Chains A and B, each alone.
Chain A
Amino acid sequence: MNLEPVIGLEVHVELATKTKMFCGCPTSFGASPNTQVCPVCLGMPGVLPVINKEAVKLAIKTALALNCKINLFTRFDRKNYYYPDLPKNYQISQQYLPLGVEGWLEISLKEGSKKVRIHNLHLEEDAGKNLHLEGTDYSLVDLNRAGIPLIEIVTYPDMRTLEEVEVFMNTLREILIYIGASDCRMEEGHLRFEANVSLRPKGSKTLGPKVEMKNLNSFKMVLNALKYEIERQSKVIQRGGKVVQETRLWDSERGISLPMRYKEEAQDYRYFPEPDLPPLDLPPEWIEEIRQELPELPQERRKRLKEKWGLTPQEADLLVGEKELGDFFDECIKIYPHPKSICSWLLGPVLRELRERKISLKESPLTPEYLVSISKMVEEEKITQTNAKFCLYEVFQTKKAPEKIIEEKGWIQVSDKGELEGIVDKVIEENPKPVEDYRRGKTQALGFLIGRVMRLTGGKANPKVVRELLQEKLK
């Protein structure tokens, strides 16, 4: 039997707000346990939540980027369950009127593009972390993460292959970073997944019993867990058995999934509207304002770079892959529309400098104006390519403007024949052997002579002019 996997994802995204979802505590990662807490996120008796407007804004931004319909009348609900990392023993989430519904994300595959539909996007608060120290019979709880804003993105089961899942995750991640919704640092748990998968005979329209996989904290874990689960289910079916609808936990160390115990699985969350928070009546003008603020999304940028500016797919990918680079490119092009030259500067020498210094563009002294000025001077033959690269190095080193560096270093290219003639004559006189070689047809000898002139002028001579002069004189 030819089986086809049917896959859906739930993605938890930690939003890039400065403060938590319902209190003013900072959200930064890596602080000592229980130092970024207050009575509210500790769930003390008597405290009340206050909605973080920035989180709502980022969630709306994401919903719009994923083509969701926004529920202008939206509300929070309580999801009730007991766990030591959940101080109130309920999570403030959205069940009945999620912020965004019925969206889609287009993914580019080898055989064309495909839309993965989004069922809903909602806001909620994160839980803390339980820590089990080996060799102890107790657990510790760190509540620094408790109350950090999350969005949960729930897709329809529209994916059919692992490739689609991988492209979906990458495309989503790119968008989240682009719109500033999340930093998407996997190692800090900014993106976490749950996946559901069922199998059915290819061509069938009905859905098989689905298995939910929890605890997937990286792209690799999602793909490995799905691969394992698809194989497991198909073995069951090929043997004539039936797949049990259940929730399974992925054990990445052993590379297997195990069913969760019945008790844990059969949860009734007893959702009901959060009485401590009045419903939100979102003004349509605000949504429009946020829509206007949306930057060009990665796929659009990729298309523009190729079609409007004639960049190769590889160049476009590199500029889109790092938003900062793409933004920088656009700034440069605005003042100096020479895409090829700017692109090769950016992807070549600039990237090298950044990597060597282990800094980002934002942290570097290079501005679009500086890069344009360097690139322009080469194009206009004011400096040589080699000196231009030194100049870029000096910008990083001294933070000075390129014009200033070139002036100080005396790197302005000499193209005046009259000024160069004397030196050319001198080189001809002092190097009779290569001159002789050239005249006998050994054209490589010219290179040597040009080099001598360059050296004597301290690299300032325009090599093109020097070549012309030599060629004239040695005819």
Chain B
Amino acid sequence: MKEIFHLPAHKISKLLHKREISVEGLVKSVLERIEEKEKEIRAFITIEREKILEEARELDKRFSKREELPRWAGIPIAIKDNICTQGMLTTCGSKILSNFYPPYDATVIRKIKKEGLLIIGKTNMDEFAMGSSTENSYFGPTHNPWDLRRVPGGSSGGSAAAVISGETILSLGSDTGGSIRQPASFCGVVGLKPTYGSVSRYGLVAFASSLDQIGPITKDVLDAYFLFHIIKGRDSQDSTSLPQTSLEENLKGEVKGTKIGLPKEYFTPGVDKEVKRWVEESFKVFQTLGAELIEISLPHTEFAVAAYYIIAPSEASSNLARYDGVHYGYRTVSPREKGEENPVVEMYEKTRQEGFGEEVKRRIMLGTYALSAGYFEAYYLKAQKVRTLIKRDFEEAFQTCEVILTPVSPTPPFLIGEKIKDPLKMYLSDIFTIPVNLAGLPAVSIPCGFTEEGLPIGLQLIGRPLEEVKLLQVAFAFQEATDFHKRRPL
């Protein structure tokens, strides 16, 4: 079978269970694709070639003994490198964790292993998930498979690029301000950021604890739906996790009568023309399917980015304090300087100076400042108030609609180097995804068009808390009426 690596998991799993293909054959096909593409895309930090082949052969034995195996046993999955995998390098795209092998598995990893999914490797990302282009990685940038001169988005750029290029079948990313949805949009794949608390964060290396959420990045909506059901659920090791009781049912893609809200604040002149055009095209698709489109307002949208860049760095400044060279990770090797009276403080300073990249240091400083005595009220507490207002905006909007439709990113994928020297410009590329994290809502990015240059464009659907199923029903309806999700880069 040709190009099996381009198929979604739900199709491959049928072939595996019917024994039309072997797990080893599948894994080899994906590994060969990696051989072919990885040099130019650089989606991975770690690739577990031998390990996954061994696991594949083991599974084939069990298949041939006609053992009852989980539906997705044998499907390769790539994991963003900020999710802890026991005994497998987990770097967060940082020099400071470039030698870190976690002694434990994240809850999501335990869950996917139980389902027989095979980890093919760990994907590249902006350092500690801080960035929107995967350029902030200690291991170098990942390239967009649709146009190698461009960024794949970020911070889960490696995961999204690996899925669309066929270097993996499935992947997991994490989303703090758009880090699943924006790269999904830039790479033309499906990315789901679940409701805050839907998926356990235990083992996800924290960036901003009150915003972080793990989610699937997949080739289509069905895969995202099934993978979500594998990883969701309350976890006794994560006190912020919620009982996610939604049952797995068949997606029907029915949207007749569904009220879809279009927030006027998201369709502004700042949005790229082609993005605007394709997102507006989607209105027609939904109308044809019988959905009802209504204009809504989310009046505090304009304050979201500012609030986010107080709250996220504040939490990050504390979350990243543990990387000090004392217990694990990188420790400075620079010689001690004369006159420095406290050798421990000197080690802290040099380790962090050498171990963290520019963007991470910038955000640690922002957060440290915002939490400092005398500024805490004016920055952190104020930002929390804004966050409450944004949450209320959505609550009110959801009185009149069930799902909200917006662009994912104001622009198509930009060029590598284009925004890296201008942090503010980079921050604004998350303007439509950040409010969702502040409100803790579920949202999905699905492909909705291509620019004239052939670059993918995504649309964002935002749902009510814990209504991932409803959200994916709407996404599935759109997908089944279009064929953007079937396109693949060369």
Choose from A47, A78, A139, A141 the contact partner of B318 (Cβ within 8 Å). A78
Check: A80 CB closer than 8 A to any chain B CB: yes
A45 adjacent to B318 (CB under 8 Å): no
A275 adjacent to B210 (CB under 8 Å): yes
In angstroms, Cα B206 to Cα A78, docked, is 15
A46 adjacent to B84 (CB under 8 Å): yes
Check: B100 CB closer than 8 A to any chain A CB: yes
Closest residue of chain A to B206 (Cβ to Cβ) is A46
- Would you give the shortest CB distance from B122 to chain A, in whole angstroms? 13
Choose from B92, B321, B344, B371 the contact partner of A88 (Cβ within 8 Å). B321
B324 adjacent to A272 (CB under 8 Å): no
Check: A44 CB closer than 8 A to any chain B CB: yes
Check: B236 CB closer than 8 A to any chain A CB: yes
Quick one: CB contact mask for A39-56 with B, threshold 8 Å, 1 for yes? Answer: 100111111111100000
In angstroms, Cα B84 to Cα A42, docked, is 15
B326 adjacent to A45 (CB under 8 Å): no
Residue pairs across A and B with CB atoms within 8 Å: the count is 101
Quick one: CB contact mask for A76-108 with B, threshold 8 Å, 1 for yes? Answer: 001010101001111000000000000000000
Closest residue of chain A to B347 (Cβ to Cβ) is A84
Q: Which of B205-257 contact A (CB under 8 A)?
A: 205-206, 208-210, 236-240
A278 adjacent to B371 (CB under 8 Å): no
In angstroms, Cα B236 to Cα A141, docked, is 29
B202 adjacent to A45 (CB under 8 Å): no
In angstroms, Cα B236 to Cα A44, docked, is 18
A272 adjacent to B201 (CB under 8 Å): no
Check: B315 CB closer than 8 A to any chain A CB: yes
Closest residue of chain A to B367 (Cβ to Cβ) is A270
The answer to whether A80 and B321 touch (CB under 8 A), given A46-B203, A275-B210, is yes
Choose from A42, A46, A82, A90 the contact partner of B106 (Cβ within 8 Å). A46
- Would you give the shortest CB distance from A128 to chain B, in whole angstroms? 10
User: In the assembled complex, which residues on chain A have CB atoms less than 8 Å from the CB atom of B403?
Assistant: none
The answer to whether A277 and B371 touch (CB under 8 A), given A42-B327, A80-B318, is no
In angstroms, Cα B240 to Cα A139, docked, is 36
A276 adjacent to B371 (CB under 8 Å): no
Check: B90 CB closer than 8 A to any chain A CB: yes
- Would you give the shortest CB distance from A225 to chain B, in whole angstroms? 25
Check: A268 CB closer than 8 A to any chain B CB: yes
User: In the assembled complex, which residues on chain B have CB atoms less than 8 Å from the CB atom of A80?
Assistant: 317-318, 321, 371
User: In the assembled complex, which residues on chain B have CB atoms less than 8 Å from the CB atom of A272?
Assistant: 314-315, 318, 371, 376, 380
B209 adjacent to A276 (CB under 8 Å): yes
Q: Chain A binding site: helix, strand, loop or mixed by DSSP? A: loop
Q: Which of B97-151 contact A (CB under 8 A)?
A: 97, 100, 102-104, 106
B103 adjacent to A90 (CB under 8 Å): no
A50 adjacent to B322 (CB under 8 Å): no
User: In the assembled complex, which residues on chain B have CB atoms less than 8 Å from the CB atom of A270?
Assistant: 317-318, 368, 371-373, 376
In angstroms, Cα B349 to Cα A186, docked, is 37
Choose from A51, A89, A275 the contact partner of B209 (Cβ within 8 Å). A275
Choose from B202, B203, B326, B368 the contact partner of A141 (Cβ within 8 Å). B326
B102 adjacent to A275 (CB under 8 Å): no
Closest residue of chain B to A40 (Cβ to Cβ) is B237
User: In the assembled complex, which residues on chain B have CB atoms less than 8 Å from the CB atom of A89?
Assistant: 321-322, 324
- Would you give the shortest CB distance from B213 to chain A, in whole angstroms? 13
Check: B348 CB closer than 8 A to any chain A CB: yes
- Would you give the shortest CB distance from B454 to chain A, in whole angstroms? 38
Check: B204 CB closer than 8 A to any chain A CB: yes
In angstroms, Cα B324 to Cα A270, docked, is 18
The answer to whether A278 and B239 touch (CB under 8 A), given A46-B202, A272-B380, is yes
- Would you give the shortest CB distance from B296 to chain A, in whole angstroms? 29
A45 adjacent to B205 (CB under 8 Å): yes
Choose from A48, A87, A277 the contact partner of B322 (Cβ within 8 Å). A87
In angstroms, Cα B344 to Cα A139, docked, is 10
In angstroms, Cα B209 to Cα A268, docked, is 22
The answer to whether A46 and B371 touch (CB under 8 A), given A39-B103, A51-B239, A275-B315, is no
Quick one: CB contact mask for B340-362 with A, threshold 8 Å, 1 for yes? Answer: 00001100100000000000000
A90 adjacent to B321 (CB under 8 Å): yes
The answer to whether A48 and B238 touch (CB under 8 A), given A39-B103, A80-B371, A272-B371, is yes
- Would you give the shortest CB distance from A283 to chain B, in whole angstroms? 17
User: In the assembled complex, which residues on chain B have CB atoms less than 8 Å from the CB atom of A88?
Assistant: 321-322
B240 adjacent to A276 (CB under 8 Å): yes
Closest residue of chain B to A130 (Cβ to Cβ) is B344
A46 adjacent to B102 (CB under 8 Å): yes
Closest residue of chain A to B236 (Cβ to Cβ) is A50
The answer to whether A43 and B327 touch (CB under 8 A), given A272-B318, A275-B315, A276-B209, is yes
In angstroms, Cα B352 to Cα A82, docked, is 13
In angstroms, Cα B326 to Cα A49, docked, is 21
- Would you give the shortest CB distance from B312 to chain A, in whole angstroms? 11
In angstroms, Cα B42 to Cα A437, docked, is 118
Among A42, A45, A139: residue with most chain B CB under 10 A: A45
Choose from B90, B100, B104, B210 the contact partner of A39 (Cβ within 8 Å). B104
Choose from B205, B236, B239, B373 the contact partner of A46 (Cβ within 8 Å). B205
Choose from A48, A78, A84 the contact partner of B326 (Cβ within 8 Å). A84
Quick one: CB contact mask for A264-283 with B, threshold 8 Å, 1 for yes? Answer: 00001011100111100000
B344 adjacent to A84 (CB under 8 Å): yes
User: In the assembled complex, which residues on chain B have CB atoms less than 8 Å from the CB atom of A84?
Assistant: 324, 326, 344
The answer to whether A45 and B321 touch (CB under 8 A), given A39-B104, A272-B380, is no
- Would you give the shortest CB distance from B290 to chain A, in whole angstroms? 40
User: In the assembled complex, which residues on chain B have CB atoms less than 8 Å from the CB atom of A276?
Assistant: 206, 209, 239-240
- Would you give the shortest CB distance from B440 to chain A, in whole angstroms? 12
Q: Which of A254-312 contact B (CB under 8 A)?
A: 268, 270-272, 275-278
User: In the assembled complex, which residues on chain A have CB atoms less than 8 Å from the CB atom of B345?
Assistant: 82
- Would you give the shortest CB distance from A154 to chain B, in whole angstroms? 19
- Would you give the shortest CB distance from B388 to chain A, in whole angstroms? 13
Choose from B97, B210, B240, B314 the contact partner of A45 (Cβ within 8 Å). B97
In angstroms, Cα B240 to Cα A278, docked, is 6
In angstroms, Cα B468 to Cα A3, docked, is 70
In angstroms, Cα B373 to Cα A90, docked, is 16
Choose from A42, A48, A268 the contact partner of B237 (Cβ within 8 Å). A48
User: In the assembled complex, which residues on chain A have CB atoms less than 8 Å from the CB atom of B237?
Assistant: 48, 50
A268 adjacent to B372 (CB under 8 Å): yes
In angstroms, Cα B323 to Cα A88, docked, is 8
User: In the assembled complex, which residues on chain A have CB atoms less than 8 Å from the CB atom of B210?
Assistant: 275
- Would you give the shortest CB distance from B176 to chain A, in whole angstroms? 12
In angstroms, Cα B236 to Cα A43, docked, is 18
- Would you give the shortest CB distance from B271 to chain A, in whole angstroms? 32
- Would you give the shortest CB distance from B165 to chain A, in whole angstroms? 27
A44 adjacent to B104 (CB under 8 Å): yes
Closest residue of chain A to B373 (Cβ to Cβ) is A268
In angstroms, Cα B318 to Cα A268, docked, is 13
Choose from A44, A90, A275 the contact partner of B328 (Cβ within 8 Å). A44
B103 adjacent to A44 (CB under 8 Å): yes
User: In the assembled complex, which residues on chain A have CB atoms less than 8 Å from the CB atom of B380?
Assistant: 272
* Further pairs besides A43-B327, A45-B97, A89-B322: 17, Cβ < 8 Å: A39-B102, A42-B327, A44-B328, A45-B84, A45-B92, A45-B322, A48-B238, A50-B239, A80-B318, A80-B321, A84-B324, A87-B327, A88-B322, A268-B372, A270-B376, A271-B371, A277-B240
29 A-B pairs with C-beta separation under 8 A:
A39-B103, A44-B104, A45-B97, A45-B205, A45-B322, A46-B82, A46-B84, A46-B201, A46-B202, A46-B205, A46-B206, A48-B239, A50-B237, A80-B318, A80-B321, A80-B371, A82-B321, A88-B321, A89-B324, A268-B372, A268-B373, A272-B318, A272-B371, A275-B210, A275-B240, A276-B206, A276-B240, A277-B239, A278-B240
Q: Which residues of A contact B (CB under 8 A)?
A: 39, 42-51, 78, 80, 82, 84, 87-90, 139, 141, 268, 270-272, 275-278
Q: Please list the 5 inter-chain residue pairs (A to B) with the smallest Cβ-Cβ separation, ordered nearest first.
A: A89-B321, A275-B209, A270-B371, A275-B210, A45-B205
Q: Which residues of B contact A (CB under 8 A)?
A: 82-84, 90, 92, 97, 100, 102-104, 106, 201-206, 208-210, 236-240, 314-315, 317-318, 321-324, 326-328, 344-345, 348, 368, 371-373, 376, 380
